[in-house]
Chains A and B, each alone.
Chain A
Amino acid sequence: MAKIYSKKMRAAIPMKPKKETISFLLNYSKALRFIQVGKHSFELIAN
């Protein structure tokens, strides 16, 4: 039987950020609002 010299493919585990990081970003997005007053834009974070 022919030898297989190639290395066995290992499934690469994709690198992902921590769940807390994603959760923080989604919450941050929900809390962030921009208010336009005249020419100025104000950033508001709702707690």
Chain B
Amino acid sequence: MANVPTPDALLVKSYIAGDENALSVLINRHQSKLYGFIYSKVGDRDLTDDIFQDTFIKVIKTLKSNSYNEEGKFLPWVMRIAHNLIIDHFRRNKKMPMFRETEEFSIFSIMSDQSLTIENQLITEQVEQDLKRIIQELPADQREVMMMRMYQDLSFKEIAELTGVSINTALGRMRYALLNMRKVIDKHQIILTN
């Protein structure tokens, strides 16, 4: 006598009644169909596994909480859950696109490392040190304005208020500070470029 497989509806009933093995049979029976269906829509193995898992989590929750009422139509119901989860996934990804590395597409073509190389870092440090040394050579009033403007990012109005001079005086001090710095740079042939 041929071995007739237990119908889905009966397995669902057994599962709801507490037979955990029934779920294993149901998953085994429909896994290829469901997995293939999800893969045909999303085209990615890992994502297919995620959606497959989420689908069955929903199935398990619905069956265990006695909310299932579609006897005899188990697979179409599971497929519908998967379909909705696929739609959810694409909706989410529309807002936040995901990039995956393929042979034709490299993730590094849209991502780059903006940080400086070790050599450029060393040069930058050197330039900054030279600059500080030059600033230290300036007369006190010019140095003060230069430090406030360049390092504290203050406006000339703020510098004028803090140093107790007019804006024009602050601007003048800045101008002389720059002229003096240029003189020192030219005199000592200092290169301040990266």
Cβ-defined contact, B24 with A26, below 8 A: yes
Residues of B close to A15: CB separation below 8 A: 32, 35-36, 39, 48
Cβ-defined contact, B60 with A29, below 8 A: yes
| Docked complex Cα distance between A22 and B52 (Å) | 9
Residues of A close to B35: CB separation below 8 A: 15-17
Tell me the dominant secondary structure on chain B's binding face. Answer: helix
B23 at interface by CB-CB < 8 Å: yes
Q: What bracket does the count of chain B residues touching chain A fall in? A: 20 to 34
Known A15-B32, A26-B24; contact A33-B64, beta-carbon cutoff 8 A: yes
A18 (CB) vs chain B CBs: closest residue: B49
Q: What bracket does the count of chain A residues touching chain B fall in? A: 10 to 19
| Docked complex Cα distance between A21 and B34 (Å) | 13
Cβ-defined contact, A29 with B39, below 8 A: no
Residues 9-27 of chain A: 1 if any B CB is under 8 Å from the residue's CB, otherwise 0?
Answer: 0000011111001101110
Known A22-B27, A26-B24, A29-B23; contact A17-B52, beta-carbon cutoff 8 A: yes
| Docked complex Cα distance between A12 and B57 (Å) | 28
Interface centre among A18, A28, A29, A33 (most CB of B within 10 A): A29
Quick one: which of B20, B31, B53 contacts A16, CB cutoff 8 A? B31
| Docked complex Cα distance between A14 and B61 (Å) | 27
Cβ-defined contact, A21 with B52, below 8 A: yes
Residues 3-20 of chain B: 1 if any A CB is under 8 Å from the residue's CB, otherwise 0?
Answer: 000000000000000001
A22 (CB) vs chain B CBs: closest residue: B27
Q: How far does the Cβ of A35 sit from chain B's closest Cβ, in whole Å?
A: 10
Interface of B with A (CB < 8 Å)?
Answer: 20, 23-24, 27, 31-32, 35-36, 39, 48-49, 52-53, 56-57, 60-61, 64-66
Question: Can you name 12 extra interface pairs (CB under 8 A) apart from A28-B60, A41-B65?
Answer: A16-B31, A16-B32, A17-B48, A17-B49, A17-B53, A24-B53, A25-B23, A25-B56, A26-B24, A29-B60, A33-B64, A43-B61
Q: Which 3 A-B pairs have the closest CB atoms?
A: A14-B32, A34-B65, A25-B56
